[in-house]
Structure 1
């Protein structure tokens, strides 16, 4: 069975960078190489590259020091920062093929905080045939400066950028790869260190993205400040004690009560907004948790109680062969990088 050429998937955030290299042979996918590295404060801020020299050095170290198999490719698919990108389904008048792009451009300006000259964009048809007066298209938009800066960053690290992709698309590809749940209307919560993303996934597409005012670092600080412990012990407490009332006398569940209530409320708001504003929306039937913050013990069960809906942790290992050396608590952090690599060798 032929093996498809490997491609590096590079996930970049404000606090860390991660890579994954997936090798595919038929339906089988194997995580052959992986690595992660923390970034120093100020290298990347809110998705904007502030210290390119340090960021380039970090990427070079990340690739050269990869765990698992030695990386032999310089081809790469990288993520674009979620706060700087826009993914949305919009409705436009039906028109002929030659005028479709211009029609979408004209409507797009009503949905993004930039002029059309300032952005790169792509789109795909979601709903609508030739006989319908209106059609729905999914647009993906990013500022030209962000795209150009990330392209240069990768090239300066002596790598060849094949594509740059919005985080939601890469993450959901990693989660739903060869999964029977791909057709299940879902909300995906990506718990990051500096920010948390909420993605509505329906009809095998990301329909809506929302940034939430919750982050792993903020939760860690709340635990550390309230319990008067250092950040390292606070991180350990999230995994060991979590939200289990039987662990650590239920201390963290009490400390984080307001955070959990806020998260549950935001998920409910997203459900309602999607149901009421998208013509072809299906009822959300599950919430999938991923990212480093999803390692929070018992968070899935607590949210399930509050939302009255199935809540589960993304089951990456059900569909991808993962090296035993990759620590269990780190696996969720690699979902986006894996999704990027999967795009490169699809």
Structure 2
């Protein structure tokens, strides 16, 4: 059996990055033409100044995790994830989420599936104190085959956050509980071409592992920024540790010594013969969020993390450099992003 890559599974991150660069240029031209006050473009979220209030509008969806949920007949997690992935992004730029709308697309109307998804959205909305403003339910029998779940979150940029690491900062990795919601095109190809979902591998029940919800880091990050404990935060999602580059100026490097990843990643790596480098370029590998902070704030942050029931490990430091993220994998490889 040949080895799997994200590109072979249908997602080419290099091409995707090129698309992002092109659209960012177009967005700049539109906003400059309109003469609006905005900022944060190219980061986790962009804000616009409306009568002195900085508002953030952010959209994301669960992607092909929906295909796995459909195969396993469990949909509530999709609603939860569609909210939390947005929350985890906007808080990195100092946003306080206040409201959301959803978009649920189905190939046919299914009341049971729909209610499960909405219940998951409600769970996440209540947990993060988000007002539900409505949404769109689309039945698209000739356009899609299955289900898509997307949420758009409105946030207020309450905190004067630049979201940049500083030289000498300690780097912490907030632990993930597994795959979260990214890389599922590769996950599906590997599992469906080998053992499937209804098996136990090395003590791991695959059907449960692939449906674990995204960890909710939002309340912790909001508290940490409002208390001025941290300088920066990076949600580790699509593109994995490349996202950490957003925290760096051109004269700094971040060195990250990643912890032992949850077993599901080693199972995917083994079954799909996926290279270590590819794993760390696609998946969070056990680190769902990276934060940087002065060492003097470490104990206060530990108190906050305990309060919010979020585990973390100290993984590295910020030093003089050239804008690189240096990842030392658990397996001994050294990667640069």
Aligning the two structures, in what range does the TM-score lie when normalised by the shorter sequence?
A: under 0.3
TM-score norm. by structure 1 comes to 0.27
TM-score norm. by structure 2 comes to 0.27
